[in-house]
Amino acid sequence: MIFLNLFFGTLVAAVGFWLLWGGSVSAVIVVGWALSVGLFLWFMTGSITELWAWSTLLLGLESFTWPVVLMIQLRGQAESLPESEMGTILSAVVLGLFSSVFWISFSYGLFKRARKLAASVHAEQTATEPLSRANKKRKSR
């Protein structure tokens, strides 16, 4: 099950990276990014919740940088921008900031949930150890 989630989390980050560059980046770079993200997620996550927390955080950061990349691409073409391109930049800024705030907030909630689940698992393990030791002492007497 973790492999399927790893595949989809990597796919989400790779599609976000491809959309960030407007489809103008070569496939080799997108595949390289996908492999990097996949390896990062493989080594940094211990649960499905953490995997999706990292994936949505990456998607939020990609959404945040999308308007900046668009401004750089449009600014490099001409000295002054026509009104239609200014409207495109405004739409990108509004949508990019909205989606980045959403995805980063979503990832924050997932990180918080993963931390709470890890703490409860750790508490269960420490609570069961003394009981098992007490049972062993009772059985030996």
Q: Please write the tens of the pLDDT for every residue from 48-61.
A: 999 999 999 999 99
All structural domains of the chain with their residue ranges: 2-140
User: Could you give the C-alpha distances from 30 to 23, 51, 60, 72, 111, in angstroms and in order?
Assistant: 10, 20, 17, 20, 26
Phi, psi dihedrals of residue 27, rounded to the nearest 5°: -65, -30
pLDDT digits (tens, 9 = 90+) for 68-113: 988 888 876 667 778 888 888 889 899 999 999 999 999 999 999 9
